Amino acid sequence: MATLVREERYIFTIGTESHVLRVQEMLWDAEPWPHKFRVHLPASHTRRAKDFYGETALIAAELVAEYLTSPTRSELASRVAGMANN
């Protein structure tokens, strides 16, 4: 099965670190995502890989930015989990 997505890249800086976000918009897929837009955050030595979904590209990107800047990632993780259940 094929998946058709449109992808845009955004660069943002937090402190001295630059991050590249690839925001994907699902155009067609046999298994739909929870929301139309997805940002995949790759794994690093300090975190696991994670996908963020949003009804708009901005919402998905803001969730990633909040996650990366949050000192307590567990609070945001529970918020994201709550959104996925809706």
Instruction: Kindly report, residue by residue over 34-69, the tens digit of the pLDDT.
Output: 899 999 988 887 788 999 999 999 899 889 888 888
Query: Domain-by-domain residue ranges, the chain?
Result: 4-85
Q: How big is the CA angle at 46 (ends 42 and 52), to the nearest 5 degrees?
A: 40
pLDDT at 85: 60
Confidence class for position 25, pLDDT limits 50, 70, 90:
very high
> What single-letter DSSP state applies at residue 86?
-
Q: What is the DSSP letter of 43?
A: -
Contact in structure between 52 and 64 (CB atoms under 8 Å): yes
Q: pLDDT at residue 82 above 70?
A: no
What per-residue confidence (pLDDT) applies to 38?
Answer: 93
For residue 5 the two structure tokens come to 């997505």
